[in-house]
Amino acid sequence: MAQLGGDLLAPGERALRVDEAAQLLLSIPCVGGVETVALTEAEGRVLAEPLFAPIDLPSFDNSAVDG
């Protein structure tokens, strides 16, 4: 199995230890409530429930690879 090298990091940066990464993830605030906003104001927000299109687009079978 291939190993990733440290060359994926920016110069001078080091990889996070597991405990540092876990602490960083746990510091992300939880969703505090639900509100309805316009789509133009939804950037950076998280959906509170799944969103489904009311119709199929396109309305016909479309495949990039037929066969």
Q: Are 48 and 34 in contact (CB under 8 A)?
A: yes
Query: Using one digit for the tens of pLDDT, what is the confidence trace for 45-63?
Result: 888 889 888 888 778 877 7
Given pLDDT bands bounded at 50, 70 and 90, which one contains residue 4?
A: low
Burial profile 36-60: b = 16 or more Cβ within 10 angstroms, e = fewer: eeeeeeeeeeeeeeeeeeeeeeeee
Given pLDDT bands bounded at 50, 70 and 90, which one contains residue 67?
A: low
53 token code pair:
């299109």
| CA–CA distance, 67 with 49 (Å, rounded to integer) | 36
pTM for this entry: 0.37
Query: Using one digit for the tens of pLDDT, what is the confidence trace for 16-45?
Result: 899 999 999 999 888 788 899 998 999 988
Which pLDDT value is given to residue 22?
Answer: 94
Q: Quick one: CA dihedral 38, 25, 23, 34, positive or negative? A: positive
| CA–CA distance, 7 with 4 (Å, rounded to integer) | 8
